[in-house]
Structures are given as C-alpha cells and as structure tokens.
Chain A
C-alpha cells in the first residue's frame, strides 16, 4: 500500500467515524428527525407535481407509491414534535405547542388527504386530490411554520 493510498484509507475511516458520531447526535434530535421526514415528503411531491402540471402522464402506481410514502413520513413527523423541541434552528412556531389541538388536527387532515391521494386510480380525480393534499400542507405551514431565509 502506497503512502497516498494509506492516507486515503485512514481519511475514509476517520470520515466514517465522524459521520457516525454526527449521525448519533442527530438521531436523538426530534427536530432533525422530523426535518428529514419532511424532506422525504417534499421529494415524494415532485413526481406528483410533474403529473399535475402534465410534465409526465398520469400513472396510478406512481401516485400510490408516492402518496403512501408521504402518508408514512407525515405520521412519523407527527410523532416528532415533543414539548420543548422548538426554538433554535427549527422553523417550528411556538403555536404548535400553545395550540396543540389545532396542530394535531392540521396534521391529521394532511394524513387524511395523503390517504385519499393514495386511493386515486382515475385521472379525473387527480388534480382535486393533489390540491387537497397540497392545501393541507399549506394550511399547516401558514400557521405553524416560520419562513425559510
């Protein structure tokens, strides 16, 4: 093993250890975990939006797959707002905890809309389901999330 290769190997090993340590720190942080879940929701929205704006053709299987991911990730995120996990870097507004019932309802509405979207099999129902789902995200974000810089 040449010196360069050895350096690279050590470097790679060290990176894995550092990344692992960071991962362990973040794994225990609900604000980070819910952010990751929401990023997945956002990713799954992209193919759905492409269908809505007719960039790609309607495909019930694609709809079902992505709507199901959205539903799962929304449920996961909903459980990641414990008392005291606001402030600092997060965009979660204090209203999540001061108006917990309103927030829980908004989250349940979004999950219901994702469930309905996963069940869409006919193209005629698609745009309405999409707007209901996106509208449920908007309703919650307008009220309970701070804007991004």
Chain B
C-alpha cells in the first residue's frame, strides 16, 4: 500500500478542521440579552411558592448525613440512563453556590440552560420547562434562593462518558429542542385553569417524567402527560390524562386533597418512583394553587 501523499493528508486534515469548526459553531451558547431582564422588585413569598411548585428541593437536596438537610445544597446523586449527575448547590454560598451569580446568570441557567461561564447544562436540569416561566417569577425565585443561609457544599463531577465533548454536544441538541416554542397556556379557560396549566408545565415540569420522550430526548407533545417509561430506567410513570374516567380521583376536591396529603392520608398512587418527594413539595403550596393544578389535570382528555 502506498502511503498517503502530503496532499491527501492535508485534505483529510482540512476536512477534520472544517468539521470541528462547524461543530464548535453549531454548539455555541446563545445567552439571553441583558436587555431582556425586566426591572422588578422581588417578591420573596412568590419566589418560595415557585421553589415548591418546581420541587427544586426534590433534586437539589443534600446527600444523606449532611449538616443541614432542609437546604437545597445539592449533591444527591441523580441517576439517568446516560450517567449520574450531582445537582448544583442552590444556596447563596459564593464559592460553591449561587452567591456570585448575577440576575442574568440565573436567567440564562433557567431559560437557556447555560452556566455563568457559558457551558451548556445537560437537560437533566429541566430548562426546557423552566424557559416557559415568566421572567418576573424567575427573579422572585432567584431572590428567594439568595435569601437562604449560604452553605458551602462541594460535589463530585458528573459521571457522564466523554463529559466535556458531551456537554458541548448539548448545544446541538438545544438547536432542535429549544427551537420549539415554550409552553403557553393560551388565553382560553378560567384563571384557575390557566394558573394550573402554568404551574404544571412551566415551574412544575411534570412532563419531564409524565410525557414520553422521542429518540431525540424531546417530549412527544402528541402524548403530553400520557405517561410512559420511567426516565430513571426502572418501571413506568402513570398517565395524568382522564384521571376521573379512569377512576383515579373523583373530582378536583378529591385530587386537591390527594396532592396536599399524599399517602399520609392513604392516597397511595402519590408515592413511588420519586413522586413522594414531589408531593411533599406540592403540599407546601397555597391551597388555591394546588386546586388550580387539580383543575388543570382533570381537564386533560
């Protein structure tokens, strides 16, 4: 066999260089312009409601044995089929938490899936749903997190194969996934229904588990909240459609009670598969919000 000439070597090298440059260009971060951030006086109480509606604590809780187990210091392993993630410390510690994050940093994380230095976040962090949140709600949520006591918490790196390359590759995924418009409840329906739709689909990110995903790991909107395989890889997630017809709940009052009390009052479908932790957070919402969630869910055909 003849060795490739310097000409063919140069040709191969330039093809690779073009491919690498295209990959780099296609996966570049697309941050929110600073001008998009509204002037807003933060409402801590609203921030706390959103913190519970999003069940932030369910994933960002401290690992067993941590000194303050009630704070979202992160670090509890979050197992997914592609690897194990160690969620971010959400307390305002300047070294390991959100202490040095600007408003723009927080908005970029929540709506564009970008870390302050521009790295892509894996969609295990559900910014696909959070990007549908109102910007003023995000500012309130940030203010609430910044009001928590700072805790220093160092976590291991995610155990995803080819972490650096995979992370950059998320940029390609975003080109497709984020091209879809964010959820919008529309203008039809009662105020409670719209509130429920917003809580379920934007901060609540219920679809992350309850909506099946396509091979591209994007929610299949034709089967919105229709249940499917558990994203953790074991078992199934129930459908949230036709809950009354399927005799899961009698009416909105019954579902409200179930969401507020869960299995403590014997509503046994609200434990297992991680739902127990979600229900504990929903129990902290104002009753009107839980009822709004119930009304919206019961409207799903």
> Which residues of A line the B interface, CB within 8 A?
42, 45-46, 48-49, 52-53, 91, 93, 130-131, 134-135, 137-138, 141-142, 145-149
Contacts and interface: CB of A to CB of B under 8 A. Distances in A.
Given A53-B257, A91-B235, A142-B277, A148 B263 contact: no
Given A138-B276, A141-B276, A147 B237 contact: yes
Given A138-B276, A141-B268, 12 more contacts: A52-B265, A134-B264, A135-B263, A137-B266, A141-B272, A142-B271, A145-B272, A147-B237, A147-B238, A148-B238, A148-B272, A149-B238
A40 to B, nearest CB: 13
A86 to B, nearest CB: 11
A146 B277 CA distance: 14
B188 interface: no
Q: Which 7 A-B pairs have the closest CB atoms?
A: A147-B273, A146-B235, A45-B266, A141-B271, A138-B263, A142-B276, A134-B264
A81 to B, nearest CB: 16
A142 B264 contact: no
Interface in B250-293: 257, 261-266, 268-269, 271-277
A91 B261 CA distance: 22
Given A146-B272, A149-B238, A53 B230 contact: no
B290 to A, nearest CB: 14
A138 B264 CA distance: 7
Contact of A141 (B230, B234, B263): B263
Given A146-B234, A147-B238, A91 B272 contact: yes
B227 interface: yes
B264 A145 contact: no
Contact of A134 (B227, B239, B263): B263
Q: Interface majority SS on A: helix, strand, loop or mixed? A: helix
B100 interface: no
Contacts of A48: 266
B152 interface: no
A149 B236 contact: yes
Given A146-B235, A149-B236, A42 B266 contact: yes
A97 to B, nearest CB: 15
A138 B265 contact: no
B264 A130 contact: yes
A146 B273 CA distance: 6
B139 to A, nearest CB: 33
Contacts of B261: 134
A137 B227 contact: no
Nearest to B209: A147
18 contacts: A53-B265, A130-B265, A131-B265, A134-B264, A137-B271, A138-B264, A138-B276, A141-B271, A142-B277, A145-B271, A146-B230, A146-B234, A147-B236, A147-B238, A147-B272, A147-B275, A148-B269, A149-B238
Contacts of B277: 142
Nearest to A48: B266
A58 B236 CA distance: 38
Contacts of A42: 266, 268
A1 B282 CA distance: 63
B260 to A, nearest CB: 10
Interface string B152-195: 00000000000000000000000000000000000000000000
A133 to B, nearest CB: 8
B16 to A, nearest CB: 45
A137 B268 contact: yes
A77 to B, nearest CB: 13
Listed residue (B235, B271, B276) with the most chain A CB atoms within 10 angstroms of its CB: B271
